[in-house]
Amino acid sequence: MAILAVGSVAYDTVETAVERRERQLGGSASYFALAAAPLAPVRVVGAVGHDFRPADLELMASRGADLGGVVRLPGPTFHWSGRYHADLIERDTLATELGVFADFAPEIPSAWRDTPYLFLGNIHPALQAGVLAQLRRPRLVVTDTMNFWIQGARPDLERVLAGTDVLLVNDGEARLLSGRRGLADAAAVIRALGPARVVVKKGEHGALYFGPEGVLAVPALLLPQVVDPTGAGDAFAGGFLGSLAAAGADAASGDAPFRRAMLDGTVTASFCPEGFSVEGLLRADGPARARRLESLLAMMRP
């Protein structure tokens, strides 16, 4: 079944200790769509500027993403620029140029308002709430957010959480949102805000799932080389929700499809840091995914 993904379609300039790449395809909706498309149909809603390269749209379309909700607006494409530290985890943001994203108010094409699965990428919670209001009773809503909105737009965020089935956050965000240090406590506080299920992403340390039936800890795959970790969280979301959409899961399903989705999210995300921009993700074909799923299961088998 189809997924509607709302988020940024951006250009990123990324600098690591060994290389610098300028204005490459990035943004939460782009990473999500390329990650989810092999698993389920994806419909993308976003905005690009006059400078957005047709080749980048073609790339996403060729991988199966339906770009019928991506509008081209006057002005430059959203541009993020950052520099990673030597550990390839910590990073400094050098520039955030919102461009056409500054006035972006997502409009869901009317034919898409029945889409069963919804991914609310990390944008202002007021916009996420606006998208939620345009959809007719989605089967499952998965939401991402960040520190900036937790601190700066809490009332809007709480409205979104009330309509969210699964919240994806990292460990720092889970602690900030809940005011709790222990992650099980943090997840309990967040679940009381709406989402019955909470996923806490911890990068190279894996991810934790907190659901009605219990907890699952999934380790990250051990990567020989990390090139550029940008987008791994959105790639996780794409693999996660792609798996749920392929299984036809909904909020009333037991934990089983969600636990399986944690594995698919982890496997999908593992390709992302192996290349700059979306390059690693493009190498995630069926056989490569299957091999990594096997490695992951072997790592988890006591």
* Residues at the contact surface with a copy of itself, assessed by CB under 8 A: 87-88, 181-185, 202, 205-206, 208, 214-219, 222-226, 259-260, 262-263, 297-302
127 versus 200: smaller Cβ distance to a copy of itself? 200
Question: What is the C-alpha to C-alpha distance for residues 23 and 14, in angstroms, rounded to an integer?
Answer: 8
Tell me the sheet residues that pair with 216. Answer: 209
Q: Of 88 and 100, which CB lies nearer to a copy of itself in the complex structure?
A: 88
- How far apart, in whole angstroms, are the C-alpha atoms of residue 203 and residue 1? 28
Please report how close the Cβ of residue 197 comes to a copy of itself at its closest, in angstroms.
Answer: 15
Are 44 and 61 a contacting pair, CB within 8 Å?
Answer: no
Q: Which is nearer to a copy of itself, 111 or 217 (CB)?
A: 217
- φ/ψ region of 269 (left if φ > 0, alpha if ψ in -120 to 50, else beta) reads alpha
| Residue-wise burial string across 118-141, b where 16 or more C-beta atoms lie within 10 A, e elsewhere | bbbbbbbbebbbbbbebbeebbbb
Min dist. Cβ of residue 118 to a copy of itself (A)? 26
| Cβ closest to a copy of itself, residue 133 vs residue 217 | 217
> Please, what is the minimum distance in Å from the beta carbon of residue 183 to a copy of itself?
6
The least CB distance from residue 231 to a copy of itself, in Å, is 19
Non-local CB neighbours of 236 within 8 Å, separated by 6+ positions: 35, 168, 201, 207, 265, 266, 268, 269
Shortest CB 182 distance to a copy of itself, Å:
5
How many residues does the structure list for the chain? 302
Q: Which is nearer to a copy of itself, 94 or 184 (CB)?
A: 184
